[in-house]
């Protein structure tokens, strides 16, 4: 078994609602940050992934912005066109992804943090791979 390596996400509890420092977060965001660290440690030790639905959390816009600032920006920032625009951002913490799906009219349909080596929905699904094998094999047989 691999020894756990501590993961540090900077957390400082804000004394009151008037605090505006970018290095402090409220207790709700502190709990969320601890949840992210816990999921990240589980990913590290067992490979288990997790997701946190941000739209289901009661966050004020300022808290949402503080969370985004706390997690920062990593090296990967992908834009995809699925059933509307989808943005996949690696945060400053490898393994922590910020994913946003929008409708064609720009309304946010889903927004979540995924803790995984790479976002699940970007991986080819087994049934799609099976379809690809069959289609390519059929095409090759037709070319002979």
pLDDT at 133: 95
Q: 27-123, superfamily in CATH? A: HupH hydrogenase expression protein, C-terminal domain (3.30.1370.140)
CA 18 from chain centre, in angstroms, equals 29
* pLDDT in single tens digits along all 144 residues of the chain: 444 555 555 554 444 433 334 444 567 888 999 999 999 999 999 999 999 999 999 888 899 999 999 999 999 999 998 888 999 999 999 999 999 999 989 899 999 999 999 998 888 888 999 999 999 999 999 876
pLDDT at 125: 85
Q: Please give the model's pTM, rounded to 2 decimal places.
A: 0.73
DSSP class of 99? E
Backbone angles phi, psi at 114, to 5 degrees: -110, 130
Both tokens of 13, joined, read 């509890």
CA 111 from chain centre, in angstroms, equals 9
Distance separating alpha carbons of residues 15 and 19, to the nearest angstrom: 7
């Amino acid at each position: 078994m691999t020894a756990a390596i501590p993961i540090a996400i900077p957390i400082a509890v804000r004394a009151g609602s008037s605090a505006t420092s970018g290095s402090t977060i409220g207790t709700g965001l502190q709990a969320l940050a601890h949840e992210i660290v816990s999921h990240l440690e589980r990913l590290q030790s067992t490979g288990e992934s997790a997701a946190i639905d941000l739209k289901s959390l009661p966050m004020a816009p300022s808290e949402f912005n503080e969370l985004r600032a706390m997690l920062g920006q990593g090296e990967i920032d992908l834009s995809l066109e699925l059933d509307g625009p989808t943005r996949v951002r690696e945060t400053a913490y490898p393994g922590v992804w910020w994913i946003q799906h929008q409708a064609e009219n720009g309304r946010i349909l889903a927004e979540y943090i995924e803790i995984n080596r790479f976002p699940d929905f970007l991986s080819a699904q087994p049934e799609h791979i099976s379809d690809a094998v069959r289609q390519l094999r059929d095409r090759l047989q037709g070319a002979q």
